[in-house]
A and B are shown apart, each in its own frame.
Chain A
Amino acid sequence: MTSSKYAPIDYFSPAQWFNPAEALESKVKRAREQLDAHVRDIVKWHFSPETGCEFWLEKAKSYSFNPVTDVKGADDLHLFGTFEDDWLRGGPISRWVPKGFAGKPVYVFETGGTTGLPKSRMVIDDFRIDYEMMSETLPDASFPKGSNWLMLGPSGPRRLRLAIEHLAQHRGGVCFCVDLDPRWVVRLIKARNIEQANLYKEHAIDQALTVLAGGHDIKCMFTTPKLLASFDEALRAGRLEEKYRSLGKKIPPGGLKSIKAAGIVGIFSGGTEFTPQFTREAYEEMLDEGEVYMTPTYGNTLMGLACSRPIGPHDGFKITYYAPQPRAMIEVVEPKDYTVKVPYGETGRVLLTTLTREFFVPRFPERDEGEREAPYERYPWDGVSGVRPFSELAGSTVVGVY
């Protein structure tokens, strides 16, 4: 098990599930016990006057139950109803800071906000913990320790920018970033100004090519599915080679017209919807039949990030995500009744729960739907596959803009 500087209640090494000798049934039972104990710890933390935050302590006054004594495990979380993300719009942000962390430096990460107030989440260490836990799941051969990273994704007041940088640093590397404001892209798309949106995308890709041409020995990158495709298109069009020539640099033998040729060996990708077809296309046509390793992730500012099972032709490029339990939990539920989980393999709405000492989000209905997946050796709890915009909401929002 990897040692961590974080307290045991904050850090749960994924390596605890890597033992192939332990039967899945045993792992499932152990994971469930761990989850229930964690739920009790976290609820007690957030609803105790000496450690909880103003928001939940105030909210508790309206409850007909006592969170500290009545919530004994994950099955009791339904007592909280569902979390409304509108509660996160506007301030003061301090009402979300647990008293147990008073005086610690606080980040605020935002989501949305093209028009109106964004949703804000306070963070102290959670993004570091989430990404360090995720780091344990990355294969070292594809994400070599000490490698430098390229962050080709959103910048600004977002978790991703700092989280990827921390991931790179945690693995002994340095992260190079681009400037990318997705709110501006959403505005352009809403105004049907596709030409400008494409130009902005080109601007982001050009920054990435400039970083690569700078000679920083970058081997790993984060990017979104759409930017990955644009990045690949630019490389195949010879734009990195153009950069080299413009800088008077010699183009290496074999050229620079693919992601592999550009020296990238591992890609951590997420931020927008991954379809099996896109994954297959990336695997077969952008990443040299999987020679460049790609791992999709699913997550958001509220939850953290869920890891996927290894992708590939062996299972039709199906993408199945598992939350970093017990710090977060994914349930796939009946859209008309969030207390009922759909059977395995059936479609339902994704319900997220975040359970950290920094932030408690019980049962938040995501904008996504998918199929409920059974526990798996490395992640012995429920997962979700085929994640896509929730059909009852699809069309009402602009998604996947970068």
Chain B
Amino acid sequence: MIRIPALRFGKQYTSLDKAVLVHHVTGDPVAEVSQVTGSQISRDLGQMDAARALLSEIPIADILAMYKKAADYFVNATLPCGDTELDFEGYVRNLSATTGSPMVFCRRNALKVHYVLGNIEEVIGGLTRGLDHEALDKGYTTHGGRMQAFFPTTNVFGAVLPSNSPGVHSLWVPTIAFKMPLLLKPGREEPWTPYRVLQAFIKAGIPPQVLGFLPTDHSGSADILRLCGRSMAFGDDRSMAPYRNDHRVEIHGTGYSKILFGEDKADAWEQHLDMMVESIAANGGRACVNASAVWTPKHGDAIAHGISKRFATMSPRPWDHPDCEISGFAKPEVAEAINNMIDEQLKTPGARDITQEVRGTPRLVKEGRIAYLLPTVIRCDSPEHPLANKEFLFPYASVIECPQDDMLSRIGYSLAASVLTEDAGFVANAMACSHIERLNIGPLPTNRLTWDQPHEGNLFTHLYKQRALSQARFAGSGARS
């Protein structure tokens, strides 16, 4: 069993309170992770002014070079992991073992993290809209004769992370490039990626005093969100509700991402079947950018059957199988609860589980200690049905018929939406739609991201605010640079 300590900004800390992580298939202990308390987090945060000063002294060019090195170390080096060391394959295997996400998904998501580390200039260029890097050293720059000045909104960035989707780690990775100390609260079952990225950073030369890896409980997580000047948190609508109006917390919750057919493209739905299947089911369907609904003016039944036929071919495979398409639930009771919720809501007239009709077998599959939920398409007669606007931790989508003219006003919040149309009016309306954050025009899967455009929040504008800055010379003093 691997013993993973907390990293308290330069100090390894082995706690008396430990969370034991088990293999989702065998139940064997895989790791024990030291837990810290909210008051320890509070105490550590007292050092953040000094940590930020330390990071500020490192030229941005050097930090970017360290990112390149860290990217290499992340995939190619054997890095410390508590009381042992892991190579990339060992890391992926452990990540899969404790989260239940198949190794093939874990590897794919880890490579996203690697991409961000290795292409940090592209990423921060996208987040800052091309701001000259010297602004990160000096606090200002001039562009086209215009002053561009910024000030930090905090002295530390806290991230309360989930266990269910390793790809999310790409979101906080740029923090150090913005010269901001970083506090990570890993998801209970996923200490692996945050710990490995921090070890790659440290090996690349980032001072450990600016890096915190602080596993804690719900109360400690709340303390992080309360005490950090800026933070991000992942969770469902209920757990994130207290932070809905807290501008210091960037919420990553349910995405309610969607595929929207225009009148002009609905007849050709079969051409977009691959795109729909990928949008809904890629990476186990657990990301906020996975589509959870398909809206179309017509052919709703045919679309639901078409996707269902593809989904019916997907079946659980062992977690280390290279062609795995479905994630297991390490906690089978979670799968059962989701399954029961869907069955309960199907009792409301106006919805049918088309996949189950096509497949002929139940949605819930139990194998040993774990459970699976097979990909599911629900055909809803109206957008008001309780299953029409739902998002679950497995490939799930509703299919809803709705006139094009009403569609954008009825879809509700959509983190990502792919609009299939060449109708200029519909495109213009989609561009103006305030419910949609990331907008794809054309047959682009909802889950495909571009790193130079943040899809949910913007880390730079979260950590920095633009300021007006003027400078004047004192009489008798030399010119200012």
Real complex partners, A and B? yes
Evaluate contact between B226 and A276: CB separation under 8 angstroms: no
Partner of B46, one of A230, A236, A275: A236
B475 interfacial contact with A, CB 8 Å: no
Within 8 A of B (CB), among A233-259: 233, 236-237
Segment at the A interface, from B34-42, B104-112, B383-391: B34-42
> Which residues of the other chain, A, contact B242 by a CB distance below 8 angstroms?
192, 194-195
A94 interfacial contact with B, CB 8 Å: no
- Shortest A256–chain B CB gap in Å is 15
| Contact flag A281-B37 (CB < 8 Å), given A316-B16, A317-B16 | yes
A 124-151 to B, binary, CB cutoff 8 A, 1 in contact else 0? 0000000000000000000000000000
> Which residues of the other chain, B, contact A277 by a CB distance below 8 angstroms?
15-17, 35, 37
Evaluate contact between B16 and A229: CB separation under 8 angstroms: no
| Identity of the chain B residue whose Cβ is nearest the Cβ of A237 in the assembled complex | B46
A 248-280 to B, binary, CB cutoff 8 A, 1 in contact else 0? 000000000000000000000000000111101
A232 interfacial contact with B, CB 8 Å: yes
| Identity of the chain B residue whose Cβ is nearest the Cβ of A276 in the assembled complex | B16
Q: How large is the interface on A (under 10, 10 to 19, 20 to 34, 35 or more residues)?
A: 20 to 34
Within 8 A of A (CB), among B1-26: 15-17
Partner of A233, one of B16, B43, B222: B43
Evaluate contact between A278 and B37: CB separation under 8 angstroms: yes
- In Å, the complex CA distance between A278 and B37 comes to 8
> Which residues of the other chain, A, contact B43 by a CB distance below 8 angstroms?
232-233, 236, 285
Evaluate contact between B17 and A233: CB separation under 8 angstroms: no
> Which residues of the other chain, B, contact A192 by a CB distance below 8 angstroms?
242
> Which residues of the other chain, B, contact A236 by a CB distance below 8 angstroms?
42-43, 46
| Contact flag A233-B39 (CB < 8 Å), given A194-B222, A194-B242, A198-B226 | yes
- In Å, the complex CA distance between A236 and B49 comes to 14
Within 8 A of B (CB), among A276-321: 276-278, 280-281, 285-286, 316-317
Evaluate contact between B16 and A280: CB separation under 8 angstroms: yes
| Identity of the chain A residue whose Cβ is nearest the Cβ of B241 in the assembled complex | A192
- In Å, the complex CA distance between A317 and B226 comes to 29
- In Å, the complex CA distance between A314 and B39 comes to 23
A 208-231 to B, binary, CB cutoff 8 A, 1 in contact else 0? 000000000000000000000110
Partner of A281, one of B40, B46, B222, B226: B40
| Contact flag A229-B226 (CB < 8 Å), given A194-B242, A277-B17 | no
Within 8 A of B (CB), among A312-345: 316-317
Number of interface residues of B (CB under 8 A): 14
> Which residues of the other chain, B, contact A285 by a CB distance below 8 angstroms?
40, 43
B 34-61 to A, binary, CB cutoff 8 A, 1 in contact else 0? 0101111011001000000000000000
> Which residues of the other chain, B, contact A233 by a CB distance below 8 angstroms?
39, 42-43
- In Å, the complex CA distance between A194 and B225 comes to 12
A 165-198 to B, binary, CB cutoff 8 A, 1 in contact else 0? 0000000000000000000000000001011001
Candidate in A194, A277, A278 with the most chain B CB atoms within 10 angstroms = A277
> Which residues of the other chain, B, contact A281 by a CB distance below 8 angstroms?
37, 39-40
> Which residues of the other chain, B, contact A316 by a CB distance below 8 angstroms?
16
> Which residues of the other chain, B, contact A195 by a CB distance below 8 angstroms?
242
- In Å, the complex CA distance between A277 and B17 comes to 6
- In Å, the complex CA distance between A192 and B238 comes to 11
- Shortest B337–chain A CB gap in Å is 17
> Which residues of the other chain, B, contact A230 by a CB distance below 8 angstroms?
39
- Shortest B176–chain A CB gap in Å is 26
- Shortest A329–chain B CB gap in Å is 29
| Identity of the chain B residue whose Cβ is nearest the Cβ of A257 in the assembled complex | B46
- In Å, the complex CA distance between A391 and B172 comes to 37
- In Å, the complex CA distance between A164 and B386 comes to 56
| Identity of the chain B residue whose Cβ is nearest the Cβ of A280 in the assembled complex | B16
Evaluate contact between B39 and A232: CB separation under 8 angstroms: yes
- In Å, the complex CA distance between A158 and B42 comes to 31
- Shortest B199–chain A CB gap in Å is 25
- In Å, the complex CA distance between A194 and B242 comes to 9
| Identity of the chain A residue whose Cβ is nearest the Cβ of B227 in the assembled complex | A233
- Shortest B429–chain A CB gap in Å is 39
Candidate in B16, B39, B42, B226 with the most chain A CB atoms within 10 angstroms = B39
- In Å, the complex CA distance between A276 and B242 comes to 31
Within 8 A of B (CB), among A66-100: none
- Shortest A242–chain B CB gap in Å is 15
> Which residues of the other chain, B, contact A237 by a CB distance below 8 angstroms?
46
- In Å, the complex CA distance between A229 and B46 comes to 14
> Which residues of the other chain, A, contact B37 by a CB distance below 8 angstroms?
229, 277-278, 281
- Shortest B228–chain A CB gap in Å is 14
Evaluate contact between B17 and A229: CB separation under 8 angstroms: no
- Shortest A224–chain B CB gap in Å is 13
- Shortest A325–chain B CB gap in Å is 29
- In Å, the complex CA distance between A128 and B35 comes to 40
- In Å, the complex CA distance between A276 and B35 comes to 13
> Which residues of the other chain, A, contact B226 by a CB distance below 8 angstroms?
198
A 13-41 to B, binary, CB cutoff 8 A, 1 in contact else 0? 00000000000000000000000000000
- In Å, the complex CA distance between A236 and B41 comes to 13
- Shortest A233–chain B CB gap in Å is 5
| Identity of the chain B residue whose Cβ is nearest the Cβ of A229 in the assembled complex | B39
| Identity of the chain A residue whose Cβ is nearest the Cβ of B46 in the assembled complex | A236
- In Å, the complex CA distance between A326 and B17 comes to 34
| Identity of the chain B residue whose Cβ is nearest the Cβ of A230 in the assembled complex | B39
- In Å, the complex CA distance between A198 and B225 comes to 13
| Identity of the chain B residue whose Cβ is nearest the Cβ of A195 in the assembled complex | B242
Within 8 A of B (CB), among A359-390: none
B 293-314 to A, binary, CB cutoff 8 A, 1 in contact else 0? 0000000000000000000000
- In Å, the complex CA distance between A104 and B134 comes to 81
| Contact flag A275-B39 (CB < 8 Å), given A198-B226, A236-B46 | no
B 238-276 to A, binary, CB cutoff 8 A, 1 in contact else 0? 000010000000000000000000000000000000000
- In Å, the complex CA distance between A156 and B359 comes to 65
- In Å, the complex CA distance between A361 and B304 comes to 67
- Shortest B14–chain A CB gap in Å is 11
- Shortest B246–chain A CB gap in Å is 10
12 A-B Cβ contacts within 8 A? A195-B242, A229-B42, A230-B39, A233-B43, A236-B43, A237-B46, A275-B16, A276-B16, A277-B16, A277-B35, A277-B37, A317-B16
Known pairs A230-B39, A285-B43, A317-B16. 19 more at Cβ < 8 A? Answer: A192-B242, A198-B226, A229-B37, A229-B38, A233-B39, A236-B42, A236-B43, A237-B46, A275-B16, A275-B17, A276-B16, A277-B15, A277-B17, A277-B37, A280-B16, A281-B37, A281-B40, A286-B39, A316-B16
Which 3 residue pairs across A and B have the least CB separation, nearest first?
A: A229-B39, A277-B16, A277-B17
